[in-house]
Amino acid sequence: MGSIPPSTLPVLIVGAGPVGLALALDLGRRGVRTTIVERGPPTGTGELLAKASVINERTMEFCRLQGIRDEVAHSGFPEDLPGDTVFCTGFGPGGKLIGQLPMPSAETRELPEQCCEMLQRCPQFLFDPIFAKAVARQGMTDVRYGVELLKCEEDTTGVTCFLKKRSQTKDVAIGEEDQEEEHEQVRAQYVVACDGAGSVVRKALGIPFEGKDLGYTLSVIVKVDLAKYHNFPAGERYLFIGPESTWANFTTLDGRLLWRFTVVGSGQKLPDPAAFDMHAVLRRALGRDDAEYELMRVLQWRRSQFTAARYHSGGVTTNIIDIDQPSQTSQKSPARIFLAGDAAHTMSPTGGHGLNTGIGDISDLSWMLAAQLAGWGGPRLADAYEAERRPIALRNGAGSTKNFALWTDRVGRDKLLEDTPEGAAQRKALGERMAGNMRQEFQALGLALGYSYAGAGSFAAGAAVAGSHPGVSLIVPDGSGAPPDEPDVYVQTARPGHRAPHVWLEDGRSTLDLFGGDFVLLRLGDDSDDVGDGYERVVMAAKKVGMPVEVVRIDNKKVAELYERRLVLVRPDGMVAWRGDVVPEDVERIVDVVRGA
Q: Are 476 and 578 in contact (CB under 8 A)?
A: yes
Determine the residue type at 482: A
Q: Are 130 and 68 in contact (CB under 8 A)?
A: yes
Query: What is the bridge-based pairing of β-strands 209-223 and 258-267?
Result: antiparallel
pLDDT of residue 320: 57
**In what helix (H) or strand (E) does residue 445 lie, and over which residues does it extend?**
helix 445-449
Choose the weakest-confidence range: 406-420, 444-458, 521-535.
521-535
Looking at the predicted structure, is the pLDDT value of residue 3 above 70?
no
pLDDT of residue 328: 61
pLDDT of residue 461: 30
Work out the average pLDDT over 54-73.
Answer: 97
What confidence tier does 337 reach under pLDDT thresholds 50, 70, 90?
very high
Choose the weakest-confidence range: 39-43, 69-73, 303-307, 425-429.
39-43
Looking at the predicted structure, is the pLDDT value of residue 69 above 80?
yes
Segment of 253-267, 315-329, 345-359 carrying the highest mean pLDDT: 345-359
Q: Are 476 and 594 in contact (CB under 8 A)?
A: yes
pLDDT of residue 168: 60
Supply φ then ψ for residue 79, to 5 degrees: -80, -10
Choose the weakest-confidence range: 312-321, 337-346, 379-388, 564-573.
312-321
Looking at the predicted structure, is the pLDDT value of residue 209 above 90?
yes
491 vs 487: CA distance, rounded Å: 11
- Partners of residue 579 on adjacent β-strands: 568
Choose the weakest-confidence range: 141-145, 455-459, 482-486, 583-587.
455-459
Work out the average pLDDT over 510-530.
Answer: 89
366 vs 375: CA distance, rounded Å: 14
Looking at the predicted structure, is the pLDDT value of residue 172 above 60?
no
- State the CB neighbour count (10 A cutoff) for residue 235: 21
Class of domain 211-306+407-442: alpha beta
Looking at the predicted structure, is the pLDDT value of residue 185 above 70?
yes
Looking at the predicted structure, is the pLDDT value of residue 102 above 50?
yes
Looking at the predicted structure, is the pLDDT value of residue 462 above 50?
no
Choose the weakest-confidence range: 197-201, 318-322, 364-368.
318-322
pLDDT of residue 173: 58
* Cα–Cα distance list, 187 to 106, 204, 338, 464, 518 (Å): 46, 17, 16, 35, 28
Looking at the predicted structure, is the pLDDT value of residue 466 above 80?
no
Choose the weakest-confidence range: 167-176, 375-384, 571-580.
167-176
pLDDT of residue 28: 99
pLDDT of residue 283: 96
Q: Are 28 and 22 in contact (CB under 8 A)?
A: no
Looking at the predicted structure, is the pLDDT value of residue 558 above 50?
yes
Architecture of the domain defined by 9-75+115-207+307-401: 3-Layer(bba) Sandwich (3.50)
Q: Are 55 and 443 in contact (CB under 8 A)?
A: no
Work out the average pLDDT over 442-464.
Answer: 70
345 vs 329: CA distance, rounded Å: 35
pLDDT of residue 1: 36
**For the chain, what are the domain ranges?**
9-75+115-207+307-401, 211-306+407-442, 450-594
- Partners of residue 306 on adjacent β-strands: 211, 346
Work out the average pLDDT over 51-79.
Answer: 94
Query: What is the bridge-based pairing of β-strands 317-322 and 327-332?
Result: antiparallel
**Distance of alpha carbon 405 from the chain centroid:** 22
Render pLDDT for 134-165 as a digit per residue (tens, 0 to 9). Answer: 999 999 999 999 999 999 999 999 999 999 99
Fold (topology level) of 450-594: Glutaredoxin (3.40.30)
From the list 573, 353, 359, 381, the residue with the least C-alpha distance to 471 is 381
pLDDT of residue 205: 96
Contacts of residue 209, defined as CB under 8 A and 6 or more positions apart, other chains included, come to 202, 306, 307, 308, 309
- Partners of residue 154 on adjacent β-strands: 159
Our separate counts of H helices and E strands in the chain read 13, 25
Query: What is the bridge-based pairing of β-strands 9-14 and 85-88?
Result: unpaired
Work out the average pLDDT over 455-469.
Answer: 41
Determine the residue type at 350: T
Looking at the predicted structure, is the pLDDT value of residue 528 above 70?
no
Tell me the Cα Rg of the chain. Answer: 26
From the list 158, 154, 152, 156, the residue with the least C-alpha distance to 185 is 152
Structure-derived torsion over alpha carbons of residues 86, 89, 92, 93, reported in degrees to the nearest 10: -120
What confidence tier does 379 reach under pLDDT thresholds 50, 70, 90?
very high
From the list 190, 199, 253, the residue with the least C-alpha distance to 53 is 253
Considering the chain, what percentage of its residues have pLDDT values greater than 70?
A: 89
Determine the residue type at 483: P
Contacts of residue 72, defined as CB under 8 A and 6 or more positions apart, other chains included, come to 55, 60, 63, 120, 122, 127, 130
What confidence tier does 526 reach under pLDDT thresholds 50, 70, 90?
confident
* Cα–Cα distance list, 344 to 90, 194, 288 (Å): 37, 8, 43
Choose the weakest-confidence range: 142-151, 162-171, 407-416, 543-552.
162-171
Considering the chain, what percentage of its residues have pLDDT values greater than 90?
A: 74
Supply φ then ψ for residue 283, to 5 degrees: -65, -40
21 vs 12: CA distance, rounded Å: 12
**In what helix (H) or strand (E) does residue 493 lie, and over which residues does it extend?**
none
Looking at the predicted structure, is the pLDDT value of residue 324 above 70?
no
Exposure b/e, 71-103, CB count within 10 A at least 16 = b: bbbebebebebbbbbbbbbbbbeebbbbbbbeb
Looking at the predicted structure, is the pLDDT value of residue 458 above 80?
no
Q: Please provide the average confidence, as pLDDT, over all residues in the chain.
A: 90
